[in-house]
Amino acid sequence: MQSIDELLTYCEKVAFDLNFAHAKNWKSQNEKRVIVGYLPIYVPREVIHASSGLPVGIMGVGDRKQIIKGDAYYQSYICHLPRGVIEMALDKNLDGFDGFLFPAICDCIRNLSGMYKLAHKGKFQRYFDYPQNFDPKIGGVFYIQEMEKVMDDIFNINGVRADVNSLNNSIRLYNINRRLIEAIYDIRQEFPWRLSAVETYHILRAGIAMPVEEHNEILKQVLDYIQTDRGEPMDNIRVVVSGSFCEQPPIGLIKSIEMAGCYIVDDDFMLGSRWILGDVEENTDDPLQALTNAYLYQSQFSSAYYDVGNPKGKRLVAQANKRGADGIIFSAASFCDPALLDRPEMQKECDEAGIPHINFQYHENTGQFKVIKEQAGTFSDSIKLWA
Amino acid sequence: MATPKDAIKEKSMIIQKEMLTKQFQELSKAKELGKKVVYTFVPGNLIELILAFDMLPVYPEINALQSGMRKKSGGFIKDAEKMGHSEDVCTYVKCDIGMMLNGNIGPTGDKIPEPDLLLLSYTGCFTFLKWFENLNRLYPNAEIAMLHTPYQEAGKMTKEQVDYMVKQLKEEVIPKMEKVSGNKYDPEKLKKLLRNSVQSEDYWVKILQTAKNKPSPIDAYFAGVYYMGPINTSFRGTEECVQYYKELYDEVTERAQQKLLPVTPEGIIPEEKFRLVVEGPPNWTNFREFWKIFYDMGAVIVASTYTKVGGLFDMGYRQNPEQPLESIAEYCMGCYTNMNLPQRVDLIEKYIKEYKADGFLINSIKSCNSFSAGQLMIMREIEQRTGVPVGFIESDLVDPRYFSYANIKNRLESYFQMLEQRKIILQQETV
């Protein structure tokens, strides 16, 4: 068994390897294996896994790669994430990927799917459309068709057709994965000093670049380690961070929030890995229907999900209350229409619920955190002194 | 600064103004008339269905652009930003919200009534989803219906996608319309409206295609946004709309026969020096100044993508009254912003070749990622495929802070110099 420090070092390495060597090595061991890259936020990874595929999350380059070519593809008023995703493709970081999925989250990611088509990157480039109709006979049917298209894409490459058994098995593995992640969050809610937000982030992000079986083993070990005390408790407030679900914040930003006196007890950084709340039915004759039901009825609130009838502001407040958070930090990428257009209504809900909040914007490669640290520090002090 | 002279207007523009005035007056009396009001969006709109239920449409984007042209959008946007909206997001949304905060007064000075139905025709723009979530909170008593239009991901429409839409129309949209209007769905009435639509669509396509003449009798972008008004918004399906397009067609045909150039607010363009294809919406806050730059340079827009946000009729699509719901589904999916990037590139290439354009220009809009994300790649592709010089300028829909006249004029002048040079070189090569 590795020490927790070894595990964390390993996860950080896998999470931020922009050449995805770990995934490519996995693929090289069997000619039927394929790698399918996906953009934020959520895709049902089970259908890829069940087709002998490795779903690999492409979350941008963060502050680990200088963008030169990517900037020539985007105007200044478009977010940073797609620049890095184009740069990676042009720099051959993504060679060896068999296909790419671009989930329906915003017009930038949608149009990026077309750019990949024009650039002929991968053997398929598919815009993955979530239904915004939640009637199982309408939107549910559409969602199954979307999943079948992905299964067809993979079958056309490796000849492997996911069946009931393989899908049930994949569902079971991803259920375990989500359960372990939630168990870690539950412990962090009580004892956030045992695993910092940055460490948690590294562990979760590594999980989208390695097989789920391996990630489950790592999560189990981490969970064991944090059953007992680790680190020193600080006089910090507890916050939920919201709005960082697509373009990821730089690690320095997450660290700055915690160093400024805010334990992050919940967040939406790696929302795709936690999208489904609870288990997907795993011993079923119709696993695609089970995945569909999970999407229709068990989705976490998200800016990519039409929320009339179940507004996300109220769900955010419920999440903050459940986690015992003292406040909410709205942290969105600049020019992120989904997050920023949701923010005023979510803030209004916080006001009505009496939950303090602050907000700021970032780019994935933001390098200066002094202002953010001061803002978060003042937020923490104000809650500690006057709340 | 000199006061601009009175704008020169075509007869069809005057007719359209009368149509709009009548519509806004009717809207202001909606409650007295017992008419229900539907807020909806332009791309993939369901106007024939709305009219089949005797309801009145309101288009928040149109309100926003009219606020832009009336120089009111800047204040509205600031008011929305004061309530927490970011500077970074769509200014149509902020302008609309600001307008509501300021009493929702329409262009005729009358108050626009509150919606009875929020009909989210979610076509080709993710922001529509967010916009209607916001409207839902501003108008909690209005019924709300969602029609999710699948993207043409694979560069085509599939039967499954059409089925998905028809099911939504039958199970979600029509029942809500029946509930709100108190009227039963009448397929025969819808078919009659669709038959009128086809006639308007036929005229509209013929009008657009007159720009293939040299010189072109129309400007398919600046004037095009006026021409497209009735068919893309509240009037498609009406006999009034057919009459409007017949009148417009007669007018431009006559101009084409007389080899007359397009009418602009400054007068008739004296000479067609350059023929351009333009991608992207126009700027509305400084629309006339913007147009005048092209007038001064003798640049005529012979085809534009923006005029296809309400449908690609010039590529052969027509409403089919015999299969009304399937036809509406295809109409929604066929709108320009619902096409994938390779389809958009193919369309622009076709326009450049068929309309014998000298150049291709992108007006990239800060607010509109649906158009703007990927435009620099479109530009490269078009340059490679056609060899025509490409130009790129940036502005915004209705935020006056993002319209820099000097900057845009400077860039356009350089671009037109490049076109001029190319013309000279091509002429020399021909000799």
Question: Which of B185, B209, B233 corresponds to the end of one domain?
Answer: B185
Nearest-neighbour CA in chain A from B63: distance (Å) = 19
Smallest Cβ–Cβ distance between B136 and the set A111, A308, A341 belongs to: A308
Domain of B180 in residue numbering reads as 29-185
Count of residues making up chain B: 431
Cα B348 to Cα B279: distance, rounded to the nearest angstrom: 8
In a domain, A190, yes or no: no
In a domain, A191, yes or no: no
In a domain, B9, yes or no: no
pLDDT at B172 over 90: yes
User: Which residues are registered as beta bridge partners of A101?
Assistant: A38, A126
In a domain, B364, yes or no: yes
Cα A383 to Cα A361: distance, rounded to the nearest angstrom: 21
* Same domain (yes/no): B298, B422: yes
Mutation test of the interface with chain A: which of B83, B85, B86, choosing the one with the most A Cβ atoms within 10 A? Answer: B86
What are the residues whose beta carbons fall under 8 Å from the beta carbon of A110, sequence distance 6 or more? A102, A104, A127, B126, B151, B370, B373
Report how far apart, in Å, the C-alpha atoms of A78 and of each of A27, A65, B379 are: 34, 18, 17
In a domain, A115, yes or no: yes
> A111 in contact with B at a CB cutoff of 8 Å?
yes
Task: Tell me the residue type at B103.
Answer: G
What pLDDT is attached to residue A310? Answer: 87
Nearest-neighbour CA in chain A from B392: distance (Å) = 11
Name every chain A residue with its beta carbon within 8 A of the beta carbon of B134: 341, 344-345
DSSP reduced 3-state for B41 = coil
Cα A185 to Cα A330: distance, rounded to the nearest angstrom: 19
Phi and psi torsions of B351, nearest 5°: -60, -45
Question: Does A111 sit within 8 Å of B374, measured CB to CB?
Answer: yes
Name every chain B residue with its beta carbon within 8 A of the beta carbon of A343: 84-86
Say which range, A24-33, B20-29, B327-336, has the weakest mean pLDDT: B20-29
> B170 in contact with A at a CB cutoff of 8 Å?
no
In a domain, B384, yes or no: yes
* Same domain (yes/no): B169, B296: no
Name every chain B residue with its beta carbon within 8 A of the beta carbon of A361: 86, 88
Q: How many CB pairs under 8 A join A and B?
A: 154
In a domain, B382, yes or no: yes
Mean pLDDT to the nearest integer, A150-179? 98
pLDDT at B354 over 90: yes
Which is it for the CA torsion B100, B106, B109, B111, positive or negative? negative
Mean pLDDT to the nearest integer, B304-329? 96
Under 8 Å between Cβ of A119 and B346: no
Report how far apart, in Å, the C-alpha atoms of A55 and of each of A115, A293, B48 are: 20, 21, 44
pLDDT digits (tens, 9 = 90+) for B219-242: 999 999 999 999 999 999 999 999
pLDDT digits (tens, 9 = 90+) for B175-221: 999 999 999 999 999 999 999 999 999 999 999 999 999 999 999 99
CA neighbor of B294 nearest in space, from B224, B212, B352: B224
Question: Does B133 sit within 8 Å of A345, measured CB to CB?
Answer: yes
What pLDDT is attached to residue A167? Answer: 98
Cα A135 to Cα A290: distance, rounded to the nearest angstrom: 14
Mutation test of the interface with chain A: which of B39, B82, B89, choosing the one with the most A Cβ atoms within 10 A? Answer: B89
Smallest Cβ–Cβ distance between A138 and the set B90, B171, B366 belongs to: B171
Name every chain A residue with its beta carbon within 8 A of the beta carbon of B150: 129, 142
Smallest Cβ–Cβ distance between B376 and the set A74, A105, A306 belongs to: A74
Smallest Cβ–Cβ distance between A347 and the set B84, B370, B372 belongs to: B84
- The DSSP element (H or E) to which B118 belongs, if any, is strand B117-122
Q: Which two tokens stand for residue B115?
A: 């919606």
Under 8 Å between Cβ of B416 and B271: no
B143, closest residue in chain A (CA to CA): A308
Smallest Cβ–Cβ distance between A338 and the set B130, B134, B151 belongs to: B130
Mutation test of the interface with chain A: which of B77, B121, B133, choosing the one with the most A Cβ atoms within 10 A? Answer: B133
Phi and psi torsions of B263, nearest 5°: -85, 135
Question: Does B374 sit within 8 Å of A112, measured CB to CB?
Answer: yes
Question: Which of B185, B218, B234 corresponds to the end of one domain?
Answer: B185
In a domain, A246, yes or no: no
What pLDDT is attached to residue B430? Answer: 79
In a domain, A116, yes or no: yes
pLDDT digits (tens, 9 = 90+) for A265-274: 999 999 999 9
R_g of chain B, CA atoms, integer Å: 21
The residue that leads in pLDDT, B110 or A387, is B110
Cα A189 to Cα A210: distance, rounded to the nearest angstrom: 26
Contact residues, A window 336-375, toward B, CB-based 8 Å cutoff:
336-338, 340-345, 347-348, 361
Question: Does A132 sit within 8 Å of B122, measured CB to CB?
Answer: yes
Mean pLDDT to the nearest integer, B131-136? 90
CA angle (A195, A197, A200) in 5-degree steps? 65
Q: Which long-range contacts (CB under 8 A, 24 or more apart) does A274-278 make?
A: A274/A178, A274/A181, A274/A182, A274/A300, A275/A41, A275/A42, A275/A299, A275/A300, A275/A302, A276/A178, A276/A300
Phi and psi torsions of A177, nearest 5°: -60, -50
Phi and psi torsions of B334, nearest 5°: -85, -5
pLDDT digits (tens, 9 = 90+) for A166-223: 999 999 999 999 999 999 999 999 999 999 999 999 999 999 999 999 999 999 999 9
Tell me whether 0.90 is exceeded by the ipTM. Answer: yes
**B14 pLDDT tier (thresholds 50, 70, 90):** confident
Report how far apart, in Å, the C-alpha atoms of B137 and of each of A117, A387, B122, B140 are: 38, 29, 18, 5
Q: Which two tokens stand for residue B151?
A: 């993207």
Question: Does A345 sit within 8 Å of B374, measured CB to CB?
Answer: no
* Same domain (yes/no): B324, B419: yes
Q: Output the domain CATH number for residue A130.
A: 3.40.50.11890
Cα B353 to Cα A271: distance, rounded to the nearest angstrom: 46
> B376 in contact with A at a CB cutoff of 8 Å?
yes
**A30 pLDDT tier (thresholds 50, 70, 90):** very high
Mutation test of the interface with chain B: which of A110, A352, A357, choosing the one with the most B Cβ atoms within 10 A? Answer: A110
Question: Does B374 sit within 8 Å of A138, measured CB to CB?
Answer: no
Name every chain B residue with its beta carbon within 8 A of the beta carbon of A336: 88
CB atoms within 10 A of CB B188: 10
Domain count, chain A: 1
Name every chain A residue with its beta carbon within 8 A of the beta carbon of B133: 306-308, 311, 342, 345
B172, closest residue in chain A (CA to CA): A133
A337, closest residue in chain B (CA to CA): B89
Name every chain A residue with its beta carbon within 8 A of the beta carbon of B168: 133, 138
pLDDT digits (tens, 9 = 90+) for A237-270: 999 999 999 999 999 999 999 999 999 999 999 9
Name every chain B residue with its beta carbon within 8 A of the beta carbon of A108: 369, 373
Question: Does B340 sit within 8 Å of A114, measured CB to CB?
Answer: yes
Cα B309 to Cα A368: distance, rounded to the nearest angstrom: 41
- The DSSP element (H or E) to which B146 belongs, if any, is strand B143-148
B151, closest residue in chain A (CA to CA): A129
Label each residue of chain A as H, E or C: CCCHHHHHHHHHHHHCCCCCHHHHHHHHCCCCCEEEEECCCCCCHHHHHCCCEEEEECCCCCCCCCCCCHHHHCCCCCCCHHHHHHHHHHCCCCCCCCEEEEECCCHHHHHHHHHHHHCCCCCEEEEECCCCCCCHHHHHHHHHHHHHHHHHHHHHHHCCCCCHHHHHHHHHHHHHHHHHHHHHHHHHHHCHHHCCHHHHHHHHHHCCCCCHHHHHHHHHHHHHHCCCCCCCCCCCEEEEEECCCCCCCCHHHHHHHHHCCEEEEEECCCHHHHCECCCCCCCCCCHHHHHHHHHHHHECCCCCCCCCCCCHHHHHHHHHHHCCCCEEEEEEECCCHHHHHHHHHHHHHHHHHCCCEEEEEECCCCCCCHHHHHHHHHHHHHHHHHC
User: Which residues are registered as beta bridge partners of A241?
Assistant: A267, A329
Question: Which of B147, B170, B185 corresponds to the end of one domain?
Answer: B185
DSSP reduced 3-state for B190 = helix
B155, closest residue in chain A (CA to CA): A114
In a domain, B77, yes or no: yes
Q: Output the domain CATH number for residue B88.
A: 3.40.50.11890
**B17 pLDDT tier (thresholds 50, 70, 90):** confident
Report how far apart, in Å, the C-alpha atoms of B298 and of each of B158, B215, B262 are: 43, 11, 10
Which is it for the CA torsion A309, A312, A317, A320, positive or negative? positive
Domain count, chain B: 2
Under 8 Å between Cβ of B277 and B208: no
Smallest Cβ–Cβ distance between B130 and the set A77, A131, A342 belongs to: A342
Contact residues, A window 241-300, toward B, CB-based 8 Å cutoff:
none
Domain of A43 in residue numbering reads as 20-160
Nearest-neighbour CA in chain B from A190: distance (Å) = 33
Beta strands in B238-329 (DSSP E): 263-264, 267-268, 274-279, 299-304
Mean pLDDT to the nearest integer, A30-48? 98
Contact residues, B window 74-133, toward A, CB-based 8 Å cutoff:
83-86, 88-90, 93, 122, 125-127, 129-133
Name every chain B residue with its beta carbon within 8 A of the beta carbon of A85: none
pLDDT digits (tens, 9 = 90+) for B252-302: 999 999 999 999 999 999 999 999 999 999 999 999 999 999 999 999 999
Q: Which two tokens stand for residue A343?
A: 């923010």
Task: Tell me the residue type at A348.
Answer: K
Q: For residues B224, B230, B236 and B237, what is the CA-based torsion angle, rounded to 10 degrees? A: -130
R_g of chain A, CA atoms, integer Å: 20
CB atoms within 10 A of CB A341: 26
User: Going edge to edge, which strands form the sheet with B359-365?
Assistant: B299-304, B274-279, B359-365, B390-395
Mutation test of the interface with chain B: which of A39, A41, A138, choosing the one with the most B Cβ atoms within 10 A? Answer: A138
**B4 pLDDT tier (thresholds 50, 70, 90):** low
What pLDDT is attached to residue A223? Answer: 98
* Same domain (yes/no): B150, B269: no
What pLDDT is attached to residue B235? Answer: 96
What pLDDT is attached to residue B5? Answer: 67
% residues pLDDT > 70 (chain B): 99
Mean pLDDT to the nearest integer, A66-94? 96
pLDDT digits (tens, 9 = 90+) for B41-88: 999 999 999 999 999 999 999 999 999 999 999 999 999 999 999 999
What pLDDT is attached to residue B329? Answer: 97
Cα B87 to Cα A322: distance, rounded to the nearest angstrom: 32
* Same domain (yes/no): B167, B288: no
Q: Which two tokens stand for residue B400?
A: 């006056």
> A307 in contact with B at a CB cutoff of 8 Å?
yes
pLDDT digits (tens, 9 = 90+) for B150-159: 999 999 999 9
Q: Is the backbone peptide bond immediately before B215 cis, with ω within 30 degrees of 0? A: yes
Q: Output the domain CATH number for residue B361.
A: 3.40.50.11900
Q: Which two tokens stand for residue A237?
A: 């407030």
Tokens 């295609």 identify what position? B209
> B344 in contact with A at a CB cutoff of 8 Å?
yes
Cα A330 to Cα B84: distance, rounded to the nearest angstrom: 12
What are the residues whose beta carbons fall under 8 Å from the beta carbon of B285, sequence distance 6 or more? B68, B69, B71, B73, B74, B396, B398, B399, B400, B403
Nearest-neighbour CA in chain B from A195: distance (Å) = 33
Under 8 Å between Cβ of A251 and A277: no
In a domain, A45, yes or no: yes
A139, closest residue in chain B (CA to CA): B164
Report how far apart, in Å, the C-alpha atoms of B333 and of each of A48, B155, B307 are: 28, 11, 16
Q: Is the backbone peptide bond immediately before A4 cis, with ω within 30 degrees of 0? A: no
> A148 in contact with B at a CB cutoff of 8 Å?
no
Phi and psi torsions of B28, nearest 5°: -65, -20
What are the residues whose beta carbons fall under 8 Å from the beta carbon of A357, sequence distance 6 or more? A327, A328, A329, A330, A347, A350
